[in-house]
Structure formats: structure tokens, C-alpha cells
Amino acid sequence: MDLPRIAIDAMGGDVGVRVMVEGAALARRRHDRFQFLLVGDEARIKSALDKHPNMRGASEILHAEDVVAGDEKPTQALRRAKTTSMGMAINAVKQGRAGAAVSGGNTGALMAMAKLSLRTMPGIDRPALAALLPTLGDNDVIMLDLGANTDCDARNLVQFAIMGAAYSRIVTGLEAPRVRLLNIGTEENKGTEHLQQAANRLRGASGLTMQFEGFVEANGLSRGDVDVVVTDGFSGNIALKAVEGTARFVADLLRRSFQSSLRSKFGFLVSRPATELLKHHLDPNNHNGAVFLGLNGVVVKSHGGASATGVANAVAVAARLLEEEITGRITADLAELGEERLRDGETNGKIA
């Protein structure tokens, strides 16, 4: 059975049409059930499709006259949502022409357009940006929020935990993911008032399909002993950039070390299988596809500099969320929890 079509913002990303279409074609070769709505400059999309015959019967083109610039302010982009490839891809989800949208374009504009067009789910105040990060464990860790909301209160953090756990159950298969709040220490008395309140609410909650395990420090993100890390978008974005920068630092340091002498070059040949494994593990293309959770629709953000492999992985993330009905899972979890208690601020042993 075919999945709902995935709308691709073909103009998004650092390279644009060529890589976005190539990535969609690669995803189609891996899973021939995928169908696409390619949004952007029709002539350029048709030219790119000539190199991918497997896309001919699986794609429809929706012409868009305009493109959101990478440095454009979200407020400016919103005014042109009806004519830009990004805005039209998101609107296709709203109209039911596509089940999900994938874009490698401006993150702030994508968030603003998606929130305005699709709206947040009942019981969710703010959508959050979630992504997978590599770990030393058997599963990647899901972290949210990564920049959609710079200032969050305890209620937001609890909702993020619910959404992150639902996402984790889909991508990891775990029945009750381990959830922790990012903090400056693991002790129960550490952190801001909002963190303390969120932790108390999650500790006292019943009926949640997660294991709340308190706090985690930034140096514990990659150990593999937590499945979902919850934080505000300000701290989350800083932590994400630090992790990405460290990965690039390690890769560049190894490359320099192996090129420093003839002996080092010989050592590289001996250790090449291990270094290739490390390179694969740290390559952001292999973990590409951040998700805006909490919307009435699926929107996936591909890294702007993603390769075709990265775009294909982002498409696979969108398809997986459609197949596993992520919005339905979050809705069910909120109902199980009793979201009205969170909304009314009741404290009856569950969530305040």
C-alpha cells in the first residue's frame, strides 16, 4: 500500500533542486511505496527529474514562483507563504494534498509557516523541534526542543517530554523510553524553578508510557543511558551546536594527525576500518531529519547542507511518522495523562 504523498520543498537547502530531487529519488529506490509532490520551479525540477527515471510515475510537480532566503526573517517569509515553495509545501499538507512536508530551508521561517498553517494539536501549547543524536548505546537519543522556543515554562517542558517519548517509541521501538531533563547537575535540587516544577510533575505522573529518570548534564548526552532529553530551545540549540562542533573537531583532528607524517599515514591505513566506522557514526547525514512535534501534520526539517543521502533519510523520517501516526500517539498520551489537569493546574498526585 502506498503511503500519503510527501511534499518536498525542492528549492530548500544550500544546493536546492538537484540534491532535494536526488534525495527523494534515493528514498524512492529504498522504498518504492513513496510518492512525492515536488514544489518549486517547474522547469528546474523537470530537468532534475530527467536523471531519475524511477521518479516519473511517483511524482507530481507544483510550481512555485518564489523561494524563502536562508537569512530571511520569519515575519517577512510569512507574508509570502502563498507563493514560496516552502509555504506551498506546508499548505499542501493542510489541504490534504500531501501527508507530510520536508524542507531544507530557513528553520525559523519553516517553523513560523508550519505553526500558522497547521496549528498546534489540542493540548499542546507550542510545537517543538526534535532530532536524533548519535550515542554510544544501542539507540540514538532524541532531543527537544532544539530552537523553536527559546523560553519555556514547566508546562511546555512536560508537553515536550510527552511528545519526545511518543517519537522515541516510533524510532527506537522502546515501550517506555527513558526521559530526562537537561540541567546543570543531576541532583534533584539543581536547576531553575521551571525545571524543578517540570521534574516534580513528571515524577508524580501516572499513565505515561515513559520512564522519567530526573536530570542529565550535557556531558551525558552521548553515553546511551537516556532515550529522550528535554530542554528549552535556547539551551537545546546551544547543546546541539556544541555536539556538532565537537564531532567536526574530532574528525578534523584525526585527519590532521594521520597526515602529519609518513608513519601516521601508515597508521591510518592500518586503522582505516575503525576510522571509517567513526566517520559514518558522526556524519550528520546519517541522522538527518529534525521533526516539528505538536502540529496537526508532519513537517520535517532537513539540514541545509545535507547530501542526497541526508535528504533521503529526512524523507524516511517523514514516512515513518506518517506510517506510525505520530499525531495520534501524542493525542492518546495526552488523553491518558489527563491533559485537563495540566491545563487547570490541579495537583492531585498527578501533574500540576
Q: Residue ranges of the domains in the chain?
A: 1-118, 121-352
Question: What pTM value is reported for the model?
Answer: 0.83
Domains 1-118 and 121-352 share a fold: yes
> What pLDDT is attached to residue 343?
45
> What pLDDT is attached to residue 349?
37
> What pLDDT is attached to residue 256?
72
User: pLDDT of the chain along its 352 residues, tens only?
Assistant: 567 899 999 998 788 899 999 999 999 988 888 899 999 999 999 999 999 988 888 999 999 989 998 888 989 889 998 999 999 999 999 999 999 999 998 888 999 999 999 999 988 999 999 988 888 888 889 999 888 888 899 999 999 999 999 999 988 888 899 999 999 998 988 888 999 999 998 888 777 788 999 999 988 888 888 999 999 989 988 888 887 777 777 777 777 776 766 666 655 555 555 555 555 555 666 677 889 999 999 999 998 888 888 999 999 999 989 988 888 888 887 876 664 444 444 444 333 3
294 backbone dihedrals φ, ψ, rounded to 5°: 100, 5
CATH numeric code, 1-118: 3.40.718.10
> What pLDDT is attached to residue 13?
79
> What pLDDT is attached to residue 9?
94
> What pLDDT is attached to residue 239?
86
Tell me the C-alpha distance between 231 and 107, whole Å: 18
Tell me the C-alpha distance between 168 and 164, whole Å: 6
> What pLDDT is attached to residue 347?
43
Q: How many CB atoms lie within 10 A of CB 259?
A: 10
Taking alpha carbons only, the member of 278, 258, 276, 260 closest to residue 268 is: 258
Tell me the C-alpha distance between 226 and 148, whole Å: 22
Residue 145 cell numbers, joined: 526542543
Taking alpha carbons only, the member of 61, 1, 62 closest to residue 34 is: 1
- With a CB cutoff of 8 Å and minimum separation 6, the contacts of 297 are 90, 93, 94, 99, 100, 101, 114, 118, 327
> What pLDDT is attached to residue 11?
92
Classify domain 121-352 at the CATH class level. alpha beta
